Amino acid sequence: MYDFEIERPGSVADAVKALGQEEAQALSGGQTLIPTLKARLAMPSVLVSLAGIDEMKGVEMRDGALWIGGGTTHATVMREAADAYPGLASLAARIGDPAVRNRGTIGGSLANNDPSACYPAAVLASGATVQTDRREIAADDYFDGMFATALEEGEIVTGVRFPIPQAAHYEKFIQPASRFPLVAAFVARFEGGVRVAITGASNDGVFRWSEAEAALNDRFAAGALDGLTLDGGDMISDLHGSGAYRAHLCGVMTRRAVQAIG
């Protein structure tokens, strides 16, 4: 790693100020950023640790929605969201491994927006709202392609507000070495309609599969998806699987998620 200083502000306001420095970079759980720094793929002069900011931690019901602080670890979401939003808690319980879940945070995952990350699928399928130090961003406006988001320079994800669906399920086809999904589908059924988000598949990162949503709104059954296909030409193609294979998996994962909801 190149050398850098670490600052540890105790409030969002101080963190925003610290991030205003030249070549400053926010550090949350570090489970992606630290390996990135080791590979010398980033060269910040200052890391601003968000771990000591209590106002960014917690899982609680607020006005009928589930609020999760941006600095909340996957392990905490796994435990504390289990009653309010079991589909989301189940997703958190399957990220990485136990030691990674004790460090990695939802805010870090969303700010990074890895095209194969788990949380973006839940946020998009739930129609959640991403809260930052300066505004609120609807999930449909937040994700902006591979490793790209609507966040501005130095903007911090302070929390996420999840509307709670009637039922939801995250179906993950795991890539066992990385523990990321090769492809995963999050299906959320609300009174107003079904939302389907796919991660791990597209070159543009997480996306809503609108044809599947329309079919499931007509009839909520795995069979409603028969005949629906996605174009493998737009999908990630690598040594783990071709674009066509990933396109196929999108259908399989979505059908299994629908079956799990019942």
Partner 1 sequence: MTQVKMTVNGKAASGEVEGRTLLVHFLRDDLELTGTHVGCDTSQCGACVVHVNGNAVKACTMFAVEADGAEVETIEGQAAEDGTLNTIQQAFQDHHGLQCGFCTPGMVMSAAALLKDNPKPSEAEVRHYLDGNICRCTGYHNIVKAIMAASGQDVSALAAE
Question: Where do contacts with partner 1 occur on this chain (CB under 8 A)?
Answer: 1-6, 8, 30-31, 34-35, 37-38, 47, 49, 51, 75, 96-100, 102-103, 177, 179
CA angle 144, 147, 148 (to 5 degrees): 30
Q: Which two tokens stand for residue 171?
A: 């179906």
Q: Which two tokens stand for residue 76?
A: 């905490």
60, 159 contact by CB (below 8 A): no
| Least gap, CB of 116 to partner 1 (angstroms) | 16
| Least gap, CB of 106 to partner 1 (angstroms) | 17
198, 180 contact by CB (below 8 A): no
Q: Which is nearer to partner 1, 176 or 227 (CB)?
A: 176
Q: Which is nearer to partner 1, 79 or 134 (CB)?
A: 79
Separation between Cα atoms, residue 221 and residue 199, nearest integer Å:
21
| Least gap, CB of 50 to partner 1 (angstroms) | 11
| Least gap, CB of 176 to partner 1 (angstroms) | 9
Separation between Cα atoms, residue 254 and residue 187, nearest integer Å:
7
| Least gap, CB of 28 to partner 1 (angstroms) | 11
Mapped to the 3 state alphabet, what secondary structure does 180-192 carry? CEEEEEEEEEECC
Separation between Cα atoms, residue 244 and residue 236, nearest integer Å:
9
CA dihedral of residues 231, 233, 239, 245 (deg, nearest 10): 20
Q: Which is nearer to partner 1, 100 or 214 (CB)?
A: 100
Q: Which is nearer to partner 1, 37 or 201 (CB)?
A: 37
Q: Which is nearer to partner 1, 179 or 240 (CB)?
A: 179
Q: Which is nearer to partner 1, 92 or 230 (CB)?
A: 92
For the beta sheet containing 46-49, the strands, ordered from the edge strand earlier in sequence to the opposite edge, are 5-7, 46-49, 24-27
| Least gap, CB of 51 to partner 1 (angstroms) | 6
